Structure 1
Amino acid sequence: MSSLWVFPGQGAQQPEMLHGLPVSHETRECLAEASAVLEQDALTLDSAHALASTRAVQLCLLIAGVSCARILIQRGHRPDYVSGLSIGAYAAAVVAGALSFADALRLVSLRGELMQQAYPQGFGMTAIMGVDIGTLEGLLAQVNSPEQPVYLANINAEAQQVIAGSHGAMRQVALLAKKSGAGCAKLLAVSVPSHCPLLETPAARLSEAFSSVDLGPTQIRYLSSSSARLLNTPEQLRDDLANNMCRVVDWHNTLRMAYERGVRLHLELPPGTVLTGLARRQFEPGQAIAFQGARLDTLDAMLRQEASRDS
């Protein structure tokens, strides 16, 4: 049996999330490197005020994910697979050994700025729960227009999707979804319309920045959350990371692919536990656990137990 380490996307951020990281050599190193590369104190990024910025949110998610993964690696653990939802893919690529942490910081800083500049207000993302994807796509077709754009953005589970677009269009889709049996429609803490054609222009600009970045082959198997496929060449990784902001996230099938390949231990790196909840639906009789809220010695025991099963 194998293990999968996953890294969450925007919406999982929490005030003071960097200040709450475990005290360790790895955490201090990551924060110091981030501060040097970004030319600002990384610990200024996680205040409630700072997290109103897409750039700050995405940088905090990257730093938190890489820091905690390195803590576990230093303690002798190593995943069989890594994957990240949206911005989480950058932390996954760093842990997979394909992208340096310094380059990831520079790219994520630019990514956040490009996304924020493209849609400074009036747009976002909404989770729709309780309707199937076919029904939701029909509702999107009814509402979507050049004046009120709205698109499918994430497929999180069979009856849990996320849409992206203008606030007005999302409200219309949410009302129609509730009439069609949706149990909940929740506006997410994301200020840009990610994972849809609205971000094709900033994705193209980010692709240009990637052309000067060296990527290597993956040392740990990397599952793309856009294609739900294994990627391993630098060219594949470059395309996946640069363009995932404008491609639908298929997290449901990414987890299914992992399970079909023998993954039975799903570990969510900080912050949050949302991905753990989604995985529990697909990982029975396996285990889905989150780093946040768990003791390190408990994680040690679970990861060692899984490794001993593989040997």
Structure 2
Amino acid sequence: MHAFVFPGQGSQKVGMGTDLAAASSAARAVFEEVDDALGMKLSAIMADGPEDQLTLTENAQPAIMANAIATLRVLESEFGVKLADHASCVAGHSLGEYTALCAVGAFDLATTARLLKLRGSAMQAAVPVGVGAMAALLGADIEKATALAEAAADGEVCEVANDNDPGQVVISGHKGAIERAASMVKDHGIKRGILLPVSAPFHCSLMQPAADRMAEALSENAPGAMSVPLFANVTAAKVTDPAEEQALLVQQVTGRVRWRESVAAMHADGVNSFVELGGKVLSPMIKKIAGEAQTTSLISMEDLEGFAKDIGG
């Protein structure tokens, strides 16, 4: 059984999607539709940069989605491998959950692009630049990370944002608290704390203003039926009801990305093959969580061709 999974922020890079667009009209059509939906040449920033423009949260989020959906559309149209025929479930890391919903037909492409641009700008605007921070804790499990976050908070926000895999947890909150946590890692039996180059403290309670804006946007653009069930970030459980998923997408802005538990739950549900579209950031995490499961990263035309042959599209 296959799960199709979709990467989150940090997987963007200048040049993303360029080879696919050169090789396939299906990919070009995705990038053009996203450009039209946003009223900007996002595809040009993806192809040529500048990098600081692509890294802006409000550009990075729709760009990562567009690249993954272009990859999927090429797989479906050029190689005849349809997600609905081969995936038993889908999931995405943070913004990737929106990509997954687009992939299973709950949102159309233009709506997904607009929601993610809004999500990016709302998350950026929720906290003034310099007030918040995030740090990756390496060699930390969820228990150690939680204890560290509580010890470092000292009246400020310091929360677990991403439980990525058994040895990597990300914390988020006020800059002072996150810097304190990074300096205290050794006391908590954690190897390293690395401040992340992000412009806002995602997935913590400081993001509440962004959650409110997404609640409003999603009430006007509610997800529809899904062709395949989704494992949601905030519950690490299977969702098929669009109304339930709408509420979970709002909670996701301030809530923890329970990626480790999501992968474990999919694996327990019978998934033995994880297919990452448009990136290769999730596959190493998945290997650490569900070691015996197969992982495949689909980025290039060669990747897609090879996968189509293997799966017998």
- Match of 2:219? 211
Q: Is the deviation greater in 247-256 or in 133-142?
A: 133-142
- Give, in angstroms, the shift of residue 26 of structure 1: 1.7
Residues 189-268 of structure 1 mapped to structure 2, 5 A cutoff: 189-268=197-276
Residues 1-311 of structure 1 mapped to structure 2, 5 A cutoff: 2-22=1-21, 23-46=23-46, 47=49, 48-74=51-77, 75-77=79-81, 78=83, 79-122=87-130, 123-146=132-155, 148-271=156-279, 273-292=280-299, 295-304=303-312
Amino acid of the residue matched to residue 88 of structure 1?
G
Q: Is the helix fraction higher in 1 or 2?
A: 2
CA contact (8 A) 2:12 2:64 kept: yes
CA contact (8 A) 1:45 1:57 kept: no
Cα distance in 2, alignment partners of residues 190 and 10 from structure 1: 10
Q: Is the deviation greater in 286-295 or in 219-228?
A: 286-295
TM-score, with length taken from structure 1 = 0.91
Cα distance in 1, alignment partners of residues 197 and 7 from structure 2: 13
Q: Which structure 2 residue ranges, 5 or more long, are not aligned?
A: none
When residues 11 and 45 of structure 1 are mapped into structure 2, their CA distance, relative to the original with a 3 A threshold, is same
Which secondary structure does the structure 2 equivalent of 1:49 belong to? helix
CA contact (8 A) 2:222 2:246 kept: no
Q: CA RMSD in A?
A: 1.8
- C-alpha deviations, 1:29-76, integer Å up to 9, x for none? 111111111111122333102124110111111111111111112222
Cα distance in 2, alignment partners of residues 168 and 72 from structure 1: 46
Which secondary structure does the structure 1 equivalent of 2:18 belong to? coil
TM-score, with length taken from structure 2 = 0.90
CA contact (8 A) 2:204 2:254 kept: yes
Amino acid of the residue matched to residue 184 of structure 1?
R
When residues 20 and 198 of structure 1 are mapped into structure 2, their CA distance, relative to the original with a 3 A threshold, is farther
- Give, in angstroms, the shift of residue 298 of structure 1: 1.5
Q: Is the deviation greater in 100-109 or in 36-45?
A: 36-45
Cα distance in 2, alignment partners of residues 150 and 132 from structure 1: 16
Which secondary structure does the structure 2 equivalent of 1:137 belong to? helix
Which secondary structure does the structure 2 equivalent of 1:124 belong to? strand
CA contact (8 A) 2:58 2:120 kept: yes
CA contact (8 A) 1:10 1:58 kept: yes
- Give, in angstroms, the shift of residue 198 of structure 1: 1.0
When residues 20 and 192 of structure 1 are mapped into structure 2, their CA distance, relative to the original with a 3 A threshold, is farther
Q: Which structure 1 residue ranges, 5 or more long, are not aligned?
A: none
- Give, in angstroms, the shift of residue 237 of structure 1: 1.9
- Give, in angstroms, the shift of residue 81 of structure 1: 1.2
CA contact (8 A) 1:120 1:191 kept: no
| Number of matched pairs | 302
- C-alpha deviations, 1:182-208, integer Å up to 9, x for none? 223223342211111111121011111
Which secondary structure does the structure 1 equivalent of 2:230 belong to? strand
- Give, in angstroms, the shift of residue 20 of structure 1: 4.4
Which secondary structure does the structure 2 equivalent of 1:45 belong to? helix
Structure 1 residue runs of 4 or more that deviate by more than 4 Å after TM superposition: none
Cα distance in 2, alignment partners of residues 120 and 10 from structure 1: 19
